[in-house]
Amino acid sequence: MAQESALCDKCRVELTVEEKPLQPLTKEQLSSTYVPSDVEASQIQSVIQSAEHTLKRYDAEIIALTDLETLATLEKQRADLQNDLRRHHAMVSAIRKLPFEILGEIFSWCCAQGLIIGENEVLTPALALSQTCSSWRTVALDTSKLWSNMSLNIECAQSPLVNLHLLRAKSAPLTLEVKGERTIVDDTDILLPLPEISDSALAILKSLIDAADRWHSASFRLNWDVLFDTSSRLDEDIWSSSRSRLSISSRSNATELENLVTTNFGRDVFHVGRLRTLTVEGYLPSPSTALSLLHDCPHLREIKLHGCLWYMHDHAPMPVTTPFTHDKLVSLDYKLTCFDELVFTLTLPSLTTLVLGGYLPKKEERQPILAGIKDMLVRSGCQLVTLRVTGNLFDSDNDIVELLALAPTVRNFTLYCVSGCSEDLFLDDLFRLLSIDNSHSTPGTPHLLPQLESLELAFLDSYARNPLPNPEGILKMVKSRTSLSASVARLLCFHLVVTLFSYSSASREWVESFISVEPRLRALKGNGLDIGLHIDTRQWDEGVEELEGESLELSDDEIDMQAE
């Protein structure tokens, strides 16, 4: 092969290298989808090895040279060779051999969050991939699901970008998270839903509604006036007399919608016939509306009712009297304060998850609701797996025990007691009944929650007036549940959170007692127990100085015993 020499005028030393060791590759060749054959790949690898050897010779000579003109020549030749070498490496790289289907799956993982447009960020992963090279662009454009997931603050979004994603998503089911917010600049700097939206935001909302037949999962966190104003319809002209308001029902044809989250709900706004999951975070007219909603959603499997009722502000209660059975619902999560009447009418034979929340200030309110919940469980004959209760539903240990006795299949139990619970609620009886005496237990012995695997307890006490459970009783129960026993399931997870806002001698004594128990509880981690312990006294405004330096070992007025 022809040779060329680089001669240094000062040292008179020649550098002999192969002439054009690499055939240049064009940008078009590299960006094409062409994959070299095995023979071609072998030839390219051989050429690469030769070029790398030449590159090393360039490096050695450049270090030794002092003549600037010759040095500049060699450095340019080396840079050209380096660029050609990179292109040849790219031609035989493993990624060129990846089938487009696999590359598409990789892209799907990279674009899992989809298009995100917020007040301070714009993330367009699918667009970035499509602009990398022609082959990646082909894959990105052919993989429509890359473009089908969008999280938009429509007050910040740009219509062309949203419309591009809707176009490239083609017929792929859409997953949307839509909100209209602006930061309120004050002491809080919080994002608040806007009562009116701009023309550009309205145009984006119209584009999304026009694609409603492709909605699979949708979340609308919009102000009531934006979502429901009946004086403004899109049937004739989106620029109606109320330019910033819109009713989705006017053109919504979301017959494929399966998952919906909304701050406000109206039966005339969304198609609900195919819904599998529904979360309402805002207003519903009445419990009877919630019951009608369940009737209209025969395929519903999960429902969360976390909002309030209109009549709580404007109307008298509308009693629910008609019994109703829903065969498909497996998860019910709702506020007792708003939808308590549902428990008196619902029969849910497939229910496996029950989450109850809310604060009921009067005992005469709590007891009928608790009785209704127990009747519903008996009436339904369901096999509960997860039970979570937050608030002050229970007045005594016996209330909890009676409810748990009706749910022997529960594996996950969470109890979050807030300040204001009955002073008769000690939980010592609960821990005693949950404890297993393995020395006397037989396979036929009845136990409370025999399938229990996860127990999470939280106590929030603002006034330090409610007695806390005996730490020794807690230890005994957990220890008995982590020991091998043929009669009950083994406890795999135990989390305890206690937050004490006000200092008192009783709370101090409890913390001291718990500190003596904590090492023995933590030692149970060796039995495979996932244990988390958190005792928070940061809000103590009295007695803290007296406590510091003693056995409590407070740091920043807090005891944090989260297991490593």
Per-residue pLDDT of 296-310, as tens digits, reads 899 999 999 887 655
State percent of the chain over pLDDT 90.
32
Which of 115-124, 315-324, 349-358 is least confident?
A: 315-324
Give the tens place of pLDDT for each residue, 428-441.
Answer: 888 999 998 866 65
Q: Which of 266, 283, 305 is the last residue of a domain?
A: 266
Total number of domains in the chain: 4
Question: Are both 438 and 517 inside the same structural domain?
Answer: yes
Question: Are both 400 and 506 inside the same structural domain?
Answer: yes
Q: What is the pLDDT of residue 449?
A: 94
Question: Are both 50 and 108 inside the same structural domain?
Answer: no
pLDDT higher than 50, residue 563: no
Residue 192 banded pLDDT, cuts 50, 70, 90: low
What is the distance between the alpha carbons of residues 436 and 432, in angstroms, rounded to a whole number?
8
Give bridge partners of residue 193 from the DSSP assignment.
Answer: 181
Q: Average pLDDT, stretch 311-325?
A: 57
DSSP H or E segment with residue 177: strand 174-179
Residue 402 banded pLDDT, cuts 50, 70, 90: very high
In a domain, 526, yes or no: yes
In a domain, 251, yes or no: yes
Which of 120-124, 375-379, 458-462, 523-527 is least confident?
A: 458-462
Tokens of 95: 């990624």
Q: What is the pLDDT of residue 353?
A: 98
pLDDT higher than 50, residue 150: yes
Q: Which residue range(s) make up the domain with 56?
A: 3-97
Residue 2 banded pLDDT, cuts 50, 70, 90: very low
Question: Are both 255 and 308 inside the same structural domain?
Answer: no
Half-sphere exposure of 389 (CA within 13 A, CB side): 15
Cα 547 versus chain centre, distance: 40
- If we measure between CA atoms, which residue out of 471, 460, 525, 532 comes closest to residue 499? 460
Contact 216, 260 (CB under 8 A): no
Residue with tokens 């829903």: 326
In a domain, 184, yes or no: yes
pLDDT higher than 90, residue 378: yes
pLDDT higher than 60, residue 167: yes
Q: What is the pLDDT of residue 545?
A: 42
Q: What is the pLDDT of residue 24?
A: 56
DSSP E strand stretches across 359-453: 386-391, 412-417
Which of 176-180, 209-213, 270-274, 307-311 is least confident?
A: 307-311
Question: Are both 43 and 69 inside the same structural domain?
Answer: yes
Parallel, antiparallel or unpaired: strands 122-123 and 149-153: unpaired
Question: Are both 432 and 507 inside the same structural domain?
Answer: yes
Question: Are both 420 and 475 inside the same structural domain?
Answer: yes
Q: What is the pLDDT of residue 265?
A: 73
Which of 195-209, 246-260, 411-425 is least confident?
A: 246-260
Question: Are both 238 and 281 inside the same structural domain?
Answer: no
Most confident of 150-164, 334-348, 412-426: 150-164
The alpha carbon dihedral of 430, 431, 436, 440 has a sign of negative
Which of 33-37, 357-361, 429-433, 537-541 is least confident?
A: 33-37
pLDDT higher than 90, residue 130: yes
Cα dist. 309→223, 323, 361, 363, 384 in Å? 16, 21, 18, 22, 28
Cα dist. 318→265, 267, 285, 405 in Å? 18, 17, 9, 32
